[in-house]
């Protein structure tokens, strides 16, 4: 097997035309270069240099190997720059799993921000509903997943959770509903109302059920729609009232809402779902993943601020 190190030395010898010059150029003694050339000739099984009194001349085989060394050296240099690009975040790939309402309001702007900082990064997005993305994260099949999760949920082994925002639920009512006259509601105000369910069993629905439970009632779901948009359609049609997290609202701000819908804050208690980013605990955090998490946090804090005091 040919040794690359020696082939690079051969290249220096051939290009400079003498062992001594190559040694000077490489910072070695001529003896070292000479020995390496002898070893390479033994490896190659054929003479590579011809001693010509003053200096050496490459033999045909020597010229061939020197040429090969040049192209291989170029490839190694390419590998090095590719590695440097990867380390600096100029290139890279990130795989993200997200759930429906997080896509438009969190992942999309975060990725836009990431790609403005790191234009060469490729992203692979995948909607994870209704599967649990955590095994994917743990197995390394994806780099990050957005999940809804209680603050007091037990830690998951091998996964690190980064808190992004607390997504507060709002009451969505028909504009003509008597409760819509009030600027804000108490959760118990909805105890007797027919509710339009918008969530499948899972942490989101749990957040609602927990809040209602601590308010002392069990919500009366008259319809179960699988998603927030459909639920709000039911509300507009007068079927009932819905509890929808801010990120799921059709009209993000309460002021310029849907013509037939009213959105009101809910308190005592305010149902909240916590949104987290889940990353593998053992993952070496490269610039790309770090940048993406930072972008997510930035987008989330803006969203929280914008939602907290509606303009």
Partner DNA sequence: CCCAGGATGTAGTTCTACTTAAGGCTGGCT
Partner DNA sequence: AGCCAGCCTTAAGTAGAACTACATCCTGGG
Q: Which residues bind a second copy (CB under 8 A)?
A: 1-2, 4-5, 7, 44-47, 50-52, 57, 59-61, 64-65, 68-69, 71-72, 75-76, 78-80, 82-83, 86-87, 92-93, 140, 282-284, 286
Which own/partner contact pairs does 85-91 have at CB distance under 8 Å and 24+ positions apart?
A: 85/120, 86/286, 87/286, 87/287, 88/287, 89/117, 89/118, 89/121, 89/286, 89/287, 89/288, 89/291, 90/118, 90/119, 90/120, 91/120, 91/121
Query: Are residues 171 and 180 in contact, defined by beta-carbon separation less than 8 angstroms?
Result: no
Partner in contact with 46, chosen from a second copy, DNA, none, beta carbon below 5 to 8 Å by kind: a second copy
Contact between 172 and DNA per CB under 7 A: no
Using the rule CB under 7 A, give the single segment among 20-28, 69-77, 89-97, 144-152 that binds DNA: 20-28
Member of 53, 154, 216, 284 binding DNA (CB under 7 A): 53
Rounded CA gap, 227 and 248, in Å? 9
Q: Smallest distance, Å, CB 268 to DNA?
A: 40
Contact between 3 and DNA per CB under 7 A: yes
Contact between 139 and DNA per CB under 7 A: no
Q: φ and ψ at 265, to 5 degrees?
A: -70, 155
Contact between 56 and DNA per CB under 7 A: yes
Q: Identify whether 130 is preceded by a cis peptide bond (ω within 30 of 0).
A: yes
Contact between 21 and DNA per CB under 7 A: yes
Q: State which residue, 85 or 132, has the beta carbon closest to a second copy.
A: 85
Using the rule CB under 7 A, give the single segment among 29-37, 160-168, 172-180, 199-207 that binds DNA: 29-37
Contact between 159 and DNA per CB under 7 A: no
What Cα–Cα distance (Å) separates residue 130 from each residue in 120, 133, 202?
31, 9, 10
Contact between 55 and DNA per CB under 7 A: yes
Q: Smallest distance, Å, CB 34 to a second copy?
A: 17
Partner in contact with 2, chosen from a second copy, DNA, none, beta carbon below 5 to 8 Å by kind: a second copy
Contact between 19 and DNA per CB under 7 A: yes
Q: State which residue, 34 or 198, has the beta carbon closest to DNA.
A: 34
Using the rule CB under 7 A, give the single segment among 53-61, 111-119, 235-243, 290-298 that binds DNA: 53-61
What Cα–Cα distance (Å) separates residue 53 from each residue in 20, 29, 181?
13, 19, 105
Using the rule CB under 7 A, give the single segment among 50-58, 62-70, 79-87, 197-205 that binds DNA: 50-58
Contact between 8 and DNA per CB under 7 A: no
Which residues are near DNA by CB under 7 A?
3, 5-6, 18-21, 23, 27-32, 34-39, 49, 51-56, 157-158
């Amino acid at each position: 097997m040919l040794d690359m190190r020696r082939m690079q030395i051969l290249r220096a010898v051939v290009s400079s035309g003498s062992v001594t010059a190559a040694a000077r150029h490489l910072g070695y003694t001529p003896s070292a270069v000479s020995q390496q050339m002898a070893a390479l000739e033994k490896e190659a099984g054929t003479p590579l240099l011809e001693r010509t009194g003053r200096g050496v001349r490459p033999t045909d085989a020597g010229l061939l190997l020197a040429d090969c060394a040049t192209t291989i050296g170029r490839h190694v240099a390419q590998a090095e720059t590719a590695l440097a690009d990867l380390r600096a975040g100029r290139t890279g790939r990130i795989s993200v799993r997200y759930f429906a309402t997080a896509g438009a309001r969190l992942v999309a702007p975060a990725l836009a921000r990431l790609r403005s900082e790191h234009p060469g990064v490729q992203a692979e997005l995948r909607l994870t509903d209704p599967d649990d993305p955590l095994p994917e994260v743990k197995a390394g099949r994806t780099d990050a997943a957005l999940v809804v999760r209680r603050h007091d949920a037990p830690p998951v082994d091998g996964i690190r959770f980064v808190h992004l925002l607390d997504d507060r639920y709002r009451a969505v009512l028909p504009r003509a509903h008597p409760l819509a006259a009030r600027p804000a509601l108490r959760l118990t105000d909805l105890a007797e109302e027919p509710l339009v369910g918008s969530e499948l069993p899972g942490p989101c629905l749990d957040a609602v059920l927990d809040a209602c439970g601590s308010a002392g009632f069990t919500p009366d779901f008259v319809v179960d729609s699988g998603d927030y948009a459909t639920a709000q359609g039911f509300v507009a049609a007068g079927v009932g009232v819905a509890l929808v997290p801010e990120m799921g609202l059709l009209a993000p701000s309460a002021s310029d809402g849907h013509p037939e819908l009213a959105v009101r804050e809910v308190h005592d208690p305010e149902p909240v779902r916590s949104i987290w980013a889940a990353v593998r605990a053992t993952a070496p955090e490269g610039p790309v993943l770090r940048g993406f998490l930072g972008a997510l946090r930035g987008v989330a804090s803006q969203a929280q601020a914008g939602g907290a005091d509606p303009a």
